Structure 1
């Protein structure tokens, strides 16, 4: 018994083809959007690649770019098939490819579903990538004269100002590293010598942060040095006073930004997956499409009619009804047939292997 059996007359067949055609071309536009967002995501990651611990973070945007291109190509082909289904002379060339095309659509749907899941799950590895990348980047902040690291200070400053954040987890992360270059330190000063000698790693540590951590909307001039010294400033208590530096860590800020992008892209890919599934559900009936092509035009000539399929028990009248379904059999029967075919293919392969063996003399 066919699953979701539906009766189609000429008007419904034409409407079905037009609807599926529209859905395919809407999916093409969505595929272009996925490609564009994947490209934008890759550019955003490239802009801050120095703050990433590895290149694995580019796997998702590369996958989105590829899936966007594949989605555009397959759905454009599907739209062309649906458009040509209204013209029997054009549809004849597509008939042998329909089953292969629908199998490709099923595979595409599975890949889109995997891509959707990855969009929501890649936030976890991205969090560890940002944690290590920011930690290493902050260590290289002072190396403005070192080749390969001379732009790290600029990158971090621009990031902290753009995302209104400070440090890795919080502003106190700057207290634990030397972020002032040695070329700007006066090693003849007793204060500098004391600070360096008091640290086991020989670093110049201080309770201060770079200027890019300052909040420009604060009414008080930015206090970025001696932040824990209450006596250094008039009417200042760092325990109770609202600090005029950004309190949010840059890891959380970047993760929120990239996570929002991935959630948006994931929702879009999920929408395309549902749209692909609906289009696949509409055109999965091969017989109905063939019947549509063979009977949608009343005035096609005998030369065309003799090459078109005529279903047993159905008249050649274009106005007559045809049947369409999602599955020709029930889900259980379809699954049983698939398993039987797979077992038959396996047995056939074993027989071929046995037949290829050389005969003993």
Structure 2
């Protein structure tokens, strides 16, 4: 029994072909939108790639770019096919190509759905990448004279100012790394040498943060040195006056920024998937109805169209048997009833006999 069978008249078939022709051209535009979204996301990630630890975060934008190219090609071809389906004679040129086209389009729509889910599932690996990348960037903050790292101080400072954040998880992260270069430390001061000697790795650690952690909304001048020393500042309690510095960590701030982008992109891709699925459904109805017209031999007659000619179970069983039989074609049967015999060839004693295979 056919699944979702619909009867079409000649007028309805022509209107369906015309509507699908228009929708396929709209789908070409949606393919360009996917391309634009993929490039936009890739550029946004590349802008802060030095703050990320791995390249796996590029999997989503690369997939969107690839799917966008495929969408433009498939829907351009689909528009040409639907335009020719108005004429039965022109449809004959596409008859053998219709089913492979529908199968390819089905897998394309599946990739779209997978891309939408990948946008929502990217948060975990993005969080891990940002956590490690920010930690390394803070560690190399002081290396302004080292080639390849001299730009990290500016990058981190701009990041903290733009996203109103401080450190990886908070401003206290700066207390556990040496972010001041030795060239700017006065080694003649006993306080500096004592700090260097008290650390096992010989690092200068202090309760200080870069200027970019300062909150301009604070009612008092920024306190970035001796942040945890209440006695060093008048009328100051660092546990209460956290408004002085940005309380949010940059990992959380960047994660929220990229999550908002990914959710918007995921919703857009999901809507495009629903649109492509509706176009694919229409093309399937057009294909089956036109094939039934050819069987009837009358181009003006009514014809039935369906999604599946048989039920889901029967279709799955039929396709499984096809795949199973294809596998058997490349196997040698080890039947004990099959004998190898050498036929006699009279008059050709010098010719080596050729084995033949036959069943007894």
TM range (shorter): 0.7 to 0.9
Q: Secondary structure in 1 aligned to 2:294?
A: coil
**Which residue pairs with 1:164 in the alignment?**
164
2:309 to 317, 328, 339: 328
**Which residue pairs with 2:295 in the alignment?**
311
For structure 2, the 5+ residue unaligned runs are 341-352
1:340 to 313, 316, 321: 321
Q: In the superposition, relative to structure 1, how do residues 353 and 39 fare at CA in structure 2: closer, same or farther (>3 Å)?
A: farther
**Which residue pairs with 1:236 in the alignment?**
236
> Which fold has the larger relative contact order, with Cα–Cα distance below 8 Å and residues 6 or more apart in sequence?
1
**Which residue pairs with 2:66 in the alignment?**
66
- Residue correspondence of structure 1 range 48-59 to structure 2 within 5 A: 48-59=48-59
- Structure 2: how far apart are the matches of 1:80 and 1:163? 49
- TM superposition shift of 1:165: 0.9
TM-score scaled to structure 2, two decimals?
Answer: 0.88
**Which residue pairs with 2:93 in the alignment?**
93
- Structure 2: how far apart are the matches of 1:359 and 1:277? 57
- Structure 2: how far apart are the matches of 1:113 and 1:311? 36
Q: In the superposition, relative to structure 1, how do residues 353 and 85 fare at CA in structure 2: closer, same or farther (>3 Å)?
A: farther
**Which residue pairs with 1:287 in the alignment?**
288
- TM superposition shift of 1:92: 3.6
Q: CA RMSD in A?
A: 2.4
**Which residue pairs with 1:113 in the alignment?**
113
- Structure 2: how far apart are the matches of 1:206 and 1:359? 89
**Which residue pairs with 1:350 in the alignment?**
331
- TM superposition shift of 1:352: 9.8
- TM superposition shift of 1:180: 0.9
- Structure 2: how far apart are the matches of 1:234 and 1:124? 43
- TM superposition shift of 1:28: 2.1
Q: Secondary structure in 1 aligned to 2:7?
A: strand
- Structure 2: how far apart are the matches of 1:55 and 1:26? 33
Q: Secondary structure in 1 aligned to 2:282?
A: helix
- Structure 2: how far apart are the matches of 1:45 and 1:287? 45
Q: Is the 8 A contact 2:290 2:303 kept in 1?
A: no
User: Could you report, residue by residue, the CA deviation over 1:228-276 in whole angstroms, capped at 9, with x for unpaired residues?
Assistant: 1112222211122242211111111111111222222222222222222
- TM superposition shift of 1:311: 2.2
Q: In the superposition, relative to structure 1, how do residues 103 and 359 fare at CA in structure 2: closer, same or farther (>3 Å)?
A: farther
My pick for the range that moved more, 282-291 or 137-146, is 282-291
**Which residue pairs with 2:136 in the alignment?**
136
Q: Is the 8 A contact 2:223 2:244 kept in 1?
A: yes
Q: Is the 8 A contact 1:53 1:133 kept in 2?
A: yes
**Which residue pairs with 1:44 in the alignment?**
44
- TM superposition shift of 1:18: 2.7
Residues paired across the two proteins, number: 340
- TM superposition shift of 1:172: 0.5
Q: Secondary structure in 1 aligned to 2:243?
A: coil
- Structure 1: how far apart are the matches of 2:80 and 2:229? 73
**Which residue pairs with 1:209 in the alignment?**
209
Q: Is the 8 A contact 2:37 2:265 kept in 1?
A: yes
In terms of Rg, which structure is larger? Answer: 2
Q: Is the 8 A contact 2:5 2:306 kept in 1?
A: yes
For structure 1, the 5+ residue unaligned runs are 292-308
- TM superposition shift of 1:87: 3.9
- TM superposition shift of 1:134: 0.7
Q: Is the 8 A contact 1:38 1:62 kept in 2?
A: yes
Q: Secondary structure in 2 aligned to 1:247?
A: coil
**Which residue pairs with 2:181 in the alignment?**
181
Moved over 6 A (4+): 352-355
- Structure 1: how far apart are the matches of 2:114 and 2:170? 35
- Structure 2: how far apart are the matches of 1:132 and 1:232? 34
- TM superposition shift of 1:289: 3.5
User: Could you report, residue by residue, the CA deviation over 1:45-104 in whole angstroms, capped at 9, with x for unpaired residues?
Assistant: 111111111222222211111111111211121122112222445444322211111111
- TM superposition shift of 1:30: 2.0
Q: Secondary structure in 2 aligned to 1:169?
A: coil
